[in-house]
Structure 1
Amino acid sequence: MKVLIVDMTHGGSALAFEFSKRENCEVLAWDIYHTLQEEDRSSLENNHIQLVDDSFYANSGQDNSELVVIAPVHCNLSIPTHMTHHQAVKYLLENEIKVPVMEITGVKGKTSVTAMLKEIYRDKNPLLLSSRGVEVLFDGEETTLQKNISITPASIITAWRLAQELYKDITRQPDICIFESSLGGTGLADVGIITNIVEDYTIAQGTSSASKAKQQMFASKVIICDHDSYRKIYSLDPATREKTNTYSIRENEKNQVNVWAHNIHYQLHKTTFQVEVVDLKTTDGKLVNTSFTVSTFAPAQYHLENTLSAISASLAMGTPPKTIIRGLENFKGLPGRTSLLKMGETVVIEEINPGINVTAVKRSAHMIKSYDKPAIVLGGSYGVTCEEIDENSLVEFLDSLDEEIPLVLTGDLGYNLNKQINRGSIYQNNIDLAVGEAKNAGGKNILFIYRSNFSELGRR
């Protein structure tokens, strides 16, 4: 077998190393974005992996008819691709992982849903991969195996290998794997989750889209998808219907979905709601019909939608409602993403995410307006994800905000916004001082939206 792995930036190195371990497998690696450090290049070459560039096809003079090209779904190549990175992960691991697998993708909410599933399956010794890192729970004890890891599909291999190393002395495996993955699923999942497609951004130099890439998740045994995304994007394919469960909180959609929430009582610390389940498909071919009440951290509609995603996925795995209820009762938010911070009589609702976009800002602002004496602190950094925020749309939205809501801007993003908006605002580069400015302006419930990695904020 001869394989060409494209893109060493987004997990290609991990795939190349894995293929190089296979007998009679010749591996070539193409660093298409030119990001490899010298140490990484040497490591690849020391493992007998040949590095090539874009002249490979033009100048090789070889018969490449048997070459298997493996490239990420976001890569626009002029040569045929035989396998995506996602599909390669399945190819490499499908005969190794013998426990149930859940995969989570989507434009927003992936990490939050992963964190909820962690609480629901806490007693099942889960292996977790998320943008927060790789961790395992064993007899209730949490162990972080690696921090600052990407959620490219190849990181699933890294997570699995780290778990194998940890468990080698006790001859066991995790009881369940919960993997967050960008731009789709590998096909390893018993339950694949698409949280939403709230912004269908373009990829592959404008030749494809996030929704098309995430369609890879339909290779899973059972699918969970928010009703709006499924109806608008994926329902056109009849093959998806037999394996898909949808959810919603909208009254006019209650007869169209498998999981519906109603009788909702939003509060900052704990929201209570009723869950109705109708003909939800499980991995063992059964249908679930039930009703139960849940109380958990979900201060706004979009938090609740994430919660329904986790509930639907757990039910599809055959998990009893009482286990789901208990797990979500223990979910208190996600430190460094969405969580509450008490400052005397003031509450700060933190929304920290490298992928925050205009839709996320609008949703968060809509939430905070419903609480007493709201204020907003907004800012962050550039270059934390491949997709930058649409500043023009964000400026337009900020100018439409009620002037009675204090607005404090911070960070590089806030600096640029402050020069463009017409409404009143305060700029303060220091994050803690920015929150203090919002408090001094009368804010009792302060929404802190920051576009960044949590590790950056940890230095404040």
Structure 2
Amino acid sequence: MKILIVDLTHGGTILASEFSKKQDCKVFAWDIYHTLSEEDKSALEVQGIEMVDESFYESYFNENLSYGDDISGNDTSRDNNSELLVVAPVHCNLPHPPHMTHHQAVGFLLKDLITVPVIEITGVKGKTSTAAMLKEIYRDKNPLILSSLGVEVAGVGCQITLHKDISITPASIITAWKLAQEFYKDKKFDKDNFCNKIPRVGIGIFESSLGGTGLADVGVITNITEDYTIAKGSSSASKAKLQMFESKLVVCDNNSYQEIYSHHSPVNQKTNTFSMGGGKNDNVNVKVHNINYGLHKTVFQVEVTDLVTIDGKLINTSFEVSTFAPAQHHIENTLSAITASLSMGTPPKSVIKGLENFSGLPGRTSLSKRGKIMIIQEINPGINVTAVKKAVNMIKGYEKPALILGGSYGVTCEEIDEKSLSNFLADLNDDIFLILTGDLGCSVRERMGKNYNYHNNIELALNEAEKAGAKNILLIYRSNFSELSRR
């Protein structure tokens, strides 16, 4: 079989390497974005992978005009005499749809290798937070976690990072699984070492951008807030995430399911939904009420109605949760973790215990003290206007609030709607002391047309908020944590 791997920027090199190890596979690789170094090209060629360009792709389709549909529609009507399997990411805008997406390729390569339960997480917002909460819920199962914070293995009272600064392209699941296998093959650990405290991986929790691989027992779509275009405007994030319905069972926020997915999901596919309440809420499986917000702990009641587990059991129950969730969007993320866990058949008492141990994400959503001042950090490379509005509404209720907002460009494919953000900030009253920072803050300040407070350095911004008498500071910064930690 001949295989063409398109796009070597977003995990394609991993896929090319893995396919090259299969018997009777001739692999071609197309660096469509011209980002691969000569060293990396040489490394692929050493494995017998042939580098090609657009002319190779075009000549193939000129010779095979009866090209059929892609396999995501379960239609293999392409020319049976064609020997070339085209594998490309869902966001790649090719003249012809690929036979297989990168997500599907990962599912194909790992389907017989991963023998533990898998939860896969996608969505526009909340993926990393959901993965972190699931890590706490499943610590006694020795989870392997892939998220935008890295690859980790964890156990009760211990965890270790196997890889930092990894992308959440689907091929990174291959990397995460291999790292775990290599970790446990190392025989140099003594009886008191970490390796013996986590004797084996018992569950995989994988964050994935733009869809699912089909490996998941439970696939999670956290939300589709501020849907954005991909593939040069020819598709959207919400359409790409339809791939998650290849999972055995799907969990999805109710609004996204009703507005986008209810008419597209497979007829025999069960979807458990969750919601804060309101909207099309009649048949929601998991929802909350009696919320008592707090900076350190928020307490709320969870109501579960007709939720179906992967074993086909029906759950109707209610229970109280206490966890770190100072604002509405944090509760929404918590609901995705709760619904995923219950869908796996996990007892509510394990969910409650795990969430009690969750205290936020360092470098994402977390609390810190600066003297007597409380700082609520919202650091996220994909922060959007919806999240900003929810966080600001939260800080309004606290004593002498201040907002420091800014960040960088180019940290994700999805940029923030500056016009909408500027309009929102301009409408804030004087009850919130506003300071803008970073490249994003500079641009927003110009749009707002007034002489708003600005510092290009976060520390200077914090100093000014402190001098202004702020007691609670909300720091919203669009950045990767590794970049912010160097400030």
| Superposition TM-score, scaled by structure 1 size | 0.97
Structure 2: distance between partners of 1:351 and 1:422: 26
- Asked if 1:89 corresponds to 2:106, the answer is yes
The Cα shift of 1:393 comes to 1.7
Residues 348-387 of structure 1: matches in 2 within 5 Å? 348-387=375-414
- Asked if 1:395 corresponds to 2:450, the answer is no
Residues 287-302 of structure 1: matches in 2 within 5 Å? 287-302=314-329
The Cα shift of 1:398 comes to 1.3
Question: Residue 245 of structure 2 contacts residue 269 of structure 2 at CA under 8 Å; is this kept in 1?
Answer: no
Structure 2: distance between partners of 1:274 and 1:138: 28
- Asked if 1:3 corresponds to 2:3, the answer is yes
Question: Residue 19 of structure 2 contacts residue 25 of structure 2 at CA under 8 Å; is this kept in 1?
Answer: yes
Provide the residue aligned with 1:23 in structure 2: 23
Question: Residue 119 of structure 2 contacts residue 205 of structure 2 at CA under 8 Å; is this kept in 1?
Answer: yes
CA shift in 2, pair 1:116/1:240, >3 Å: farther
- Asked if 1:185 corresponds to 2:202, the answer is no
Question: Residue 130 of structure 2 contacts residue 336 of structure 2 at CA under 8 Å; is this kept in 1?
Answer: yes
CA shift in 2, pair 1:201/1:363, >3 Å: same
Q: Determine helix, strand or coil for the equivalent of 1:55.
A: helix
The Cα shift of 1:189 comes to 0.2
Cα offsets for 1:418-444 (capped at 9, x unmatched): 222145521111111111212222321
Provide the residue aligned with 1:346 in structure 2: 373
Provide the residue aligned with 2:75 in structure 1: none
Question: Residue 255 of structure 2 contacts residue 279 of structure 2 at CA under 8 Å; is this kept in 1?
Answer: no
Question: Residue 323 of structure 2 contacts residue 359 of structure 2 at CA under 8 Å; is this kept in 1?
Answer: yes
The Cα shift of 1:308 comes to 0.7
Q: Determine helix, strand or coil for the equivalent of 1:27.
A: strand
Structure 2: distance between partners of 1:445 and 1:357: 22
The Cα shift of 1:379 comes to 0.7
Provide the residue aligned with 1:39 in structure 2: 39
Q: Determine helix, strand or coil for the equivalent of 1:333.
A: coil
CA shift in 2, pair 1:424/1:367, >3 Å: farther
Tell me which moved more, 241-250 or 144-153: 241-250
The Cα shift of 1:364 comes to 1.4
Cα offsets for 1:114-145 (capped at 9, x unmatched): 00000001111100000000011145421111
CA shift in 2, pair 1:34/1:151, >3 Å: same
Q: Determine helix, strand or coil for the equivalent of 2:106.
A: helix
Please report the RMSD computed on the Cα atoms of aligned residues, expressed in angstroms: 1.7
Structure 1: distance between partners of 2:425 and 2:464: 18
The Cα shift of 1:58 comes to 3.9
Cα offsets for 1:160-183 (capped at 9, x unmatched): 111111112479641000000000
Task: Report the AA paired with residue 98 of structure 1.
Answer: T
Task: Report the AA paired with residue 261 of structure 1.
Answer: V
The Cα shift of 1:370 comes to 2.1
The Cα shift of 1:240 comes to 5.4
Provide the residue aligned with 2:272 in structure 1: 245
Provide the residue aligned with 1:196 in structure 2: 223
Q: Determine helix, strand or coil for the equivalent of 1:275.
A: strand
Identity %, equivalent residues? 67
Residues 147-162 of structure 1: matches in 2 within 5 Å? 147-162=164-179
Provide the residue aligned with 1:52 in structure 2: 52
Provide the residue aligned with 1:126 in structure 2: 143
Provide the residue aligned with 1:445 in structure 2: 472
Structure 2: distance between partners of 1:305 and 1:395: 25
Structure 1: distance between partners of 2:23 and 2:451: 65
Cα offsets for 1:49-104 (capped at 9, x unmatched): 11111111345797782100000000110134100000000000000111000000
CA shift in 2, pair 1:233/1:49, >3 Å: same
CA shift in 2, pair 1:236/1:254, >3 Å: closer
Question: Residue 258 of structure 2 contacts residue 280 of structure 2 at CA under 8 Å; is this kept in 1?
Answer: no
Tell me which moved more, 64-73 or 348-357: 64-73
Structure 2: distance between partners of 1:51 and 1:93: 24
Among 66, 75, 92, the residue aligned to 1:75: 92
Structure 1: distance between partners of 2:332 and 2:57: 47
Provide the residue aligned with 1:108 in structure 2: 125
| Superposition TM-score, scaled by structure 2 size | 0.91
Structure 2: distance between partners of 1:57 and 1:16: 16
Provide the residue aligned with 2:287 in structure 1: 260
CA shift in 2, pair 1:288/1:341, >3 Å: same
Structure 1: distance between partners of 2:411 and 2:265: 38
Provide the residue aligned with 1:430 in structure 2: 457
Structure 1: distance between partners of 2:19 and 2:250: 29
CA shift in 2, pair 1:167/1:193, >3 Å: same
Task: Report the AA paired with residue 140 of structure 2.
Answer: D
- Asked if 1:407 corresponds to 2:427, the answer is no
- Asked if 1:143 corresponds to 2:160, the answer is yes
Tell me which moved more, 165-174 or 378-387: 165-174
Task: Report the AA paired with residue 326 of structure 1.
Answer: K
Q: Determine helix, strand or coil for the equivalent of 2:54.
A: coil
Task: Report the AA paired with residue 150 of structure 1.
Answer: S
Q: Determine helix, strand or coil for the equivalent of 2:374.
A: strand
Structure 2: distance between partners of 1:78 and 1:265: 52
Among 322, 340, 359, the residue aligned to 1:313: 340
CA shift in 2, pair 1:253/1:272, >3 Å: farther
Q: Determine helix, strand or coil for the equivalent of 2:272.
A: strand
Task: Report the AA paired with residue 149 of structure 1.
Answer: I
Question: Residue 103 of structure 1 contacts residue 181 of structure 1 at CA under 8 Å; is this kept in 2?
Answer: yes
Structure 1: distance between partners of 2:458 and 2:254: 37
Tell me which moved more, 383-392 or 53-62: 53-62
Structure 2 unmatched runs, 5+: 65-80, 188-195
Structure 1 unmatched runs, 5+: none
Structure 1: distance between partners of 2:254 and 2:2: 42
Question: Residue 142 of structure 2 contacts residue 202 of structure 2 at CA under 8 Å; is this kept in 1?
Answer: yes
Tell me which moved more, 254-263 or 278-287: 254-263
Cα offsets for 1:378-432 (capped at 9, x unmatched): 0111111122222222111111111331111111111222222145521111111
Question: Residue 123 of structure 1 contacts residue 140 of structure 1 at CA under 8 Å; is this kept in 2?
Answer: no
CA shift in 2, pair 1:55/1:310, >3 Å: same
